[in-house]
Structure 1
Amino acid sequence: MRAARVVPIHPVSRAEPPARRAPRCSACAMRALCMPAELSADELTRLDAIICATRSVKRGDALYRAGDAFHSIYAVRAGSFKTVVMHREGREHVTGFQIAGEALGLDGVGTCQHNCDAIALEDSVVCIIPFAQLEAVCRELKPMQHHIYQMMSSEIVRESSQMMLLGTMTAEQRVATFLLNLSRRFKARGFSAAEFHLRMTREEIGCYLGMKLETVSRMFSKFQRERLVAANGKTIRILDHEGLARV
């Protein structure tokens, strides 16, 4: 597998395009996913002042690498990412997929450096949120502080769910859970819960679910035979949501 190119964040080299000014949080369509709903107009203005830049990341490029110094967290404004850890023998393990409205970079809070790679699955845009400035704002804006705690808690729950998925579920259950999880997340963003495009490959899904590519493909074929889903390339249509949930 070709190694992803790194898009430097701190500092920006002359060869890389500079970070662009971010659209105001107060006018962003993704605000309900990234920010607590109870913030006042004045409080949103304060957040506008610290979330001052966006960065475009081309498909296959890395937003950050394991071992990079931690400075910021990132909100996915458009596109999608995968987070990856590399085994010592060079094998890749996918630890998560992040779509628009979700956060990246929280893995660096504890050790002040990132412990995974964040790689764009398609041409994507992130909002850059300097963590030191965010911490200062959170001391005064309690709803925002609580929101950050919720984000960190969600990461703990997600990792626990991943351990249960890998440790106790059959291959059939893992793929069904994966599709239902994506369906729920797309629905929360106002997209169709029944039909969506998979930006990740079958191989990447297998890396995430702890399965071989052949097994992932066999499960998709099984679900199609049972008329639970219809697959056309990377486009997935859930035909029987309740049936998939019963799996």
Structure 2
Amino acid sequence: MADESAVLDLNQLRRSCSSCALSELCLPAGIGGDDLEKLDMTIRDKRMLDRGGALYRDGDPFHALYVVRSGSLKTFVQDDTGAVQILGFHLPGDIVGFDALATDRHVSQAEALERSSICELPYERLQQVTSEVPALHRQLMRVVSREVVEEHRHTVVMGRQQAQEQLAIFLKSLSDRYQRLQRDGSMLTLSMSRYDIANYLGLVVETVSRLFSRMEEMGVLEVNRKAVRIRRPDLLAGLCRGSVAAAKHREAN
């Protein structure tokens, strides 16, 4: 008969990892308790960050990767004049810290957009575990690949000529990420400011505010400060493609 406390511990581990990027490995793959225990032992601690709290800064030495357990982060670079460029927004299950792999020092910064819980994966210990659990190594490579795809998508978005398309693609991408987390993809909570969104998209904040208002007038969105409901996913998809209807609306305004 199985040890009851061991079963409870395993169940707790599964619950704690349910929204993690590694859950594709740990939960559906159904790896054994020993491998789950190895993964659990790799996690040094679960850090709490208040809004605006720094996870790491530019120039900090590299020693770990970090998984967003709850809340959200933004990553960004800042030049000598203080000018900031947002690199990305990270939701539960996302892994950050890859920027330091090449130089052993972080070349960007990560900051909490809201109160957030972070799992720390010390890199040396993680390397040891991935050598013992090949499936975990494959999962990490998938995560890295996803980061590359996201960067490519952002490059495509930045290349769009119409600001409306840029914002529509951003919201559609966020909705898709919500659905991967088994959340309602039509109900978004924007933990990032309008300024951060504008910075990320290469726009000015006045343009972003105007576009939210325009999309609300078109019946695409319902906006209540940080809460955004996608009323017409079909119209949002059309705006992402720069549809004829959207073009006509732009001309009318």
Matched, 1:231 2:223: yes
Residue 62 of structure 2 aligns with an amino acid whose one-letter code is F
Give the CA deviation at 1:29: 4.7
> In percent, how many aligned pairs have the same letter?
33
Residue 26 in structure 1 maps to residue 18 in structure 2: no
How far does residue 34 in structure 1 lie from its aligned partner after superposition? 2.3
Q: C-alpha distance in 1, partners of 2:169/2:159?
A: 14
- Find the counterpart in structure 2 of residue 82 from structure 1: 74
TM-score after normalising by structure 1? 0.87
- Give the structure 1 partner of residue 44 of structure 2: 52
Q: Which amino acid is 2:54 matched to?
A: A
1:133 to 125, 128, 151: 125
Whether 1:195 aligns to 2:190 is: no
Q: Which runs of 4+ in 1 moved over 6 A?
A: none
TM-score, reference length from structure 2 = 0.85
The answer to whether the Cα contact below 8 Å between 2:21 and 2:95 also exists between their aligned partners in 1 is: no
Alignment of 1:80-119 (within 5 A): 80-119=72-111
CA contact (8 A) 1:176 1:245 kept: yes
Partner of 1:14: none
Cα-to-partner distance string for 1:119-178 (whole Å, 9 max, x where unaligned): 100111101100111111111211100011111111111111111111234200110011
In structure 1, how many angstroms separate the alpha carbons of the residues matched to 2:139 and 2:13?
A: 15
Q: Aligned pair in 2 of structure 1 residues 148, 75: CA closer, same or farther (>3 Å)?
A: same
Equivalent AA in structure 1 for residue 173 of structure 2: N
In structure 1, the gaps of 5 or more residues are 1-22
Is the contact between residue 74 and residue 88 of structure 2 (CA under 8 Å) also seen in structure 1?
A: yes
184-193 or 172-181, which deviates more: 184-193
Q: Residue 75 of structure 1 contacts residue 104 of structure 1 at CA under 8 Å; is this kept in 2? A: yes
Offset at residue 26 of structure 1 (A): 3.4
Between structures 1 and 2, the one with greater helix share: 2
- Cα 1:208/1:185, change in 2 over 3 Å: same
Is there any run of 5+ residues in structure 2 with no aligned partner, and where?
1-10, 240-253
Between structure 1 and structure 2, the one with the greater Rg is 2
Q: Does the residue aligned with 2:132 lie in a helix, a strand or coil?
A: coil
